[in-house]
C-alpha cells in the first residue's frame, strides 16, 4: 500500500487528487495540508467528499514522512523548498510548473524569473505518460503537466512524429477552474459570466511545454480564450500539412499512434450529435478525446481535442504517472468515464 500525502490540498487540483486517491485500491491517503483550513474536515473545502472521507486538513508544518508526496502548491512555491519536500518522501510529484522544463533559461524566459533550484530541473521526468512512459516507470521525481500544453501536445503529436506537419495555429477555450479557487477581478461572477475573453492571444507560458514535446522547429501558435464553462478544455487546431493526405491516411496515423493508449479516444464520426470532441463528455475523467476534419484540398486539417483541465490536464495525469512510478497498471483508479449529460 502506497502511503501518500497531498501538500496544498484545499485548491481545485488538490481536491481532484483527494477524490482520485481516496478510491485508489493501492493508496492510503495519510495527510492533506492547508494553512487556511487546518483542523477542518476536507469536505468543508471539497463538499463532494462529505460522508466519503473523514480526513482533516493539517498544517503544512505538521506534515509527516510518507512514500509519495504530491505537491499541489502555487507556481514558484515548490522549487523554493524542494530540499525539505524531498526529505519527506522518496518520491515526489509536483503539479505546479516549477519542474516541467529541463532548461533554466527557458524557465526564466517563460516565467519571468530565475529558477530557484535549477539543478533539480534535471531530476524530474515530465509527467505525460503518452510521451515519457518508459522514463516514468520507477521514477522518483515527476512533474505535472500544463493542461493547455497537454491538449496541444496530444492533438498534434502524431502529425509531428510522422513528419507531415508544416505549421499549426491553435485556439484553446478554457473553463473558469483553470484560474484556481482564488478570486480575482477577472473571475468575479458578473465579469466572468457570459464571457468570451481571449486573455492570452500570444506568448502563453505553456508554449514552453509544447516545444519540449513537439520540438523547437515547428511553427506553432496558440491562443487561450476563457468561456462560460467551469471545467474543461476545447482545442481547435488548424494544421497545415506538407503534402495532401486522404482522410483514411489521417485515421491510420492517429490509430497507429494511440491504439495502445488507455486514455486517448478518437472521436470523429459521421453521424450523431457528438461527432467531434466536447469537454463536457470527458468532465471528471482522465480521458482526452481527439477528432478531426480534413479540408477538400487535403492539406488543411482541423484537429479538435477535449480534456478535463483538472483531470487529464492535472490530477488525472499525476495519478497515471504515480501508477507508473510504482509499476502498477497505469489505469488503476482512473477508469471513471465521466458523466453525461
**Residues with catalytic function:** 147
Q: What is the DSSP letter of 315?
A: I
**Parallel, antiparallel or unpaired: strands 233-241 and 300-307:** antiparallel
* Cα angle 35-15-11, degrees, rounded to a multiple of 5: 45
Is the C-alpha dihedral spanning 118, 320, 169, 236 positive or negative? negative
CB 254 within 8 A of CB 290: yes
Cell numbers for 295: 479540408
Cα 166 from Cα 151, distance rounded (Å): 19
Taking the C-alpha atoms of residue 288 and residue 303, their distance in angstroms, rounded to an integer, is 13
Beta strands across the sheet bearing 220-226: 197-200, 220-226, 165-174, 233-241, 300-307, 288-294, 264-266
**Cell match 488525472: residue?**
316
Give, rounded to a whole angstrom, the gap between the first and last alpha carbons of the chain: 35
Amino acid at each position: 500500500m502506497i502511503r501518500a500525502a497531498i501538500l496544498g490540498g484545499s485548491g481545485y487540483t488538490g481536491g481532484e487528487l483527494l477524490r482520485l486517491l481516496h478510491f485508489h485500491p493501492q493508496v492510503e491517503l495519510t495527510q492533506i495540508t492547508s494553512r487556511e483550513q487546518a483542523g477542518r474536515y476536507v469536505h468543508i473545502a471539497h463538499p463532494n467528499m462529505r460522508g466519503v472521507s473523514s480526513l482533516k486538513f493539517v498544517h503544512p508544518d505538521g506534515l509527516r514522512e510518507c512514500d509519495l508526496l504530491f505537491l499541489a502548491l502555487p507556481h514558484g512555491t515548490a522549487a523554493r523548498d524542494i530540499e525539505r519536500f524531498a526529505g519527506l518522501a522518496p518520491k515526489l510529484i509536483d503539479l505546479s510548473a516549477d519542474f516541467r522544463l529541463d532548461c533554466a533559461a527557458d524557465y526564466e524566459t517563460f516565467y519571468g524569473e530565475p529558477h530557484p533550484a535549477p539543478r533539480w530541473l534535471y531530476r524530474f521526468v515530465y509527467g505525460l505518460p503518452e510521451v515519457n512512459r518508459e522514463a516514468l516507470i520507477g521514477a522518483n521525481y515527476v512533474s505535472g503537466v500544463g493542461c493547455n500544453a497537454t491538449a496541444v501536445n496530444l492533438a498534434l503529436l502524431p502529425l509531428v512524429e510522422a513528419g507531415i506537419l508544416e505549421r499549426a495555429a491553435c485556439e484553446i477555450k478554457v473553463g473558469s477552474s483553470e484560474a484556481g479557487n482564488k478570486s480575482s477581478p477577472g473571475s468575479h461572477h458578473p465579469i466572468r459570466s457570459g464571457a468570451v475573453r481571449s486573455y492570452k492571444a500570444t506568448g502563453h507560458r505553456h508554449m514552453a511545454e509544447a516545444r519540449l514535446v513537439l520540438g523547437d522547429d515547428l511553427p506553432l501558435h496558440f491562443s487561450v480564450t476563457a468561456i462560460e464553462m467551469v471545467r474543461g478544455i476545447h482545442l481547435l487546431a488548424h494544421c497545415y500539412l506538407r503534402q495532401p493526405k486522404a482522410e483514411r491516411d489521417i485515421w491510420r496515423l492517429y490509430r497507429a499512434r494511440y491504439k495502445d493508449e488507455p486514455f486517448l479516444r478518437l472521436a470523429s464520426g459521421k453521424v450523431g450529435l457528438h461527432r467531434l470532441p466536447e469537454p463536457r463528455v470527458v468532465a471528471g475523467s482522465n480521458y482526452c478525446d481527439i477528432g478531426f476534419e480534413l479540408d477538400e484540398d487535403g492539406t488543411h486539417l482541423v484537429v479538435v481535442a477535449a480534456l478535463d483541465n483538472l483531470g487529464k490536464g492535472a490530477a488525472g495525469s499525476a495519478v497515471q504517472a504515480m501508477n507508473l512510478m510504482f509499476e502498477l497498471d497505469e489505469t488503476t483508479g482512473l477508469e471513471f468515464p465521466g458523466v453525461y449529460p
